[in-house]
Amino acid sequence: MPLHPQAQMVLDFMADTGFTFEGLTADELRARANMAVPSPIELPSIADGAIPGPAGDIPVRIYRPSDATDLPVVVFFHGGGWVIGDLESHDHMARTISSKAECVVVAVDYRLAPEHKFPAAADDAWAALEWVATHAAELGVDGNRVAVAGDSAGGNLAAVVAVQARDSEHVEVIQQVLLYPVVDGDCDRPSMAENAEGYMLTRGAMDWFHEQYATTDADRSDPRYSPINSDLAGVAPAVVVTAEYDPLRDQGNAYAVALTEAGVDVVHTQYDGMIHGFFSMDAGLDTAAQAQDDVAAALKAAFAS
């Protein structure tokens, strides 16, 4: 279908403000992109903290929709091409998931590239998931109901740790939520050309993000970089969200197919007329609110079962 008129308005606004992912250093891009969007969602408890990581403490932010101590928990990884994004930039998304899915959310501020190359982000993501799963009582959550979620590069990390959890003796993930995820270091799928320009995230920006995160071509084929290269049998059931006008559309769609072919239960929705990053844009996109409700319903169903 054509680009949704509301999505076009978002793109027009970004163009008017001069927003771009290209032609900037990592620090310049962070200064422009790592900004909190004020969230209308109020929660009774939001607390910053830190958990042990492979290279020092990892900052986290813990969102609680109530004071119950038996709630399920989602370990959330923000997007941003492994280069930008932080606890502030994805605060609204974390609040949304916590509120709508009625769960605790632990948002993870993993190390960023290019200062910290692959597999630093993946190592931090696993350390965070492992800590949450093995310290559930201390955290005040139900350790039998642990899910992972992430958008874009955060979706990459969620997919990677879901595979690692399958092979772990002490970490179990019951659901993974992958929002327009990066799952393949190969950027040659058709949507990369079809949506290369004009829809906020560009192919040039994706090439640059990969250059920041990867050290070698071998990194990009590693299953912890490109989870589509993993043996996916036995990983947690998945919700995969993709957007029609997104350079990453085809790799997300291919990952949903690969999971299904591996025998994994998958709920995959491509939201037509939408662009990369739309999930958090509910202030201007009606489809974003619908996608949030769809994801929350899937999470609640997984937690209930």
Residues involved in catalysis: 152, 246, 276
Cβ neighbours of residue 124 closer than 8 Å, sequence gap 6 or more: 53, 54, 55, 58, 108, 110, 111
Q: Are 188 and 182 in contact (CB under 8 A)?
A: no
Beta bridge partners of 243: 271
Question: How, if at all, do strands 104-108 and 58-64 pair?
Answer: antiparallel
Which DSSP letter does residue 222 get? S
User: Taken in order 130, 134, 137, 141, is the CA torsion positive or negative?
Assistant: positive
Instruction: Give the number of residues written for the chain.
Output: 305
How far is it, in rounded angstroms, from Cα 109 to Cα 60?
6
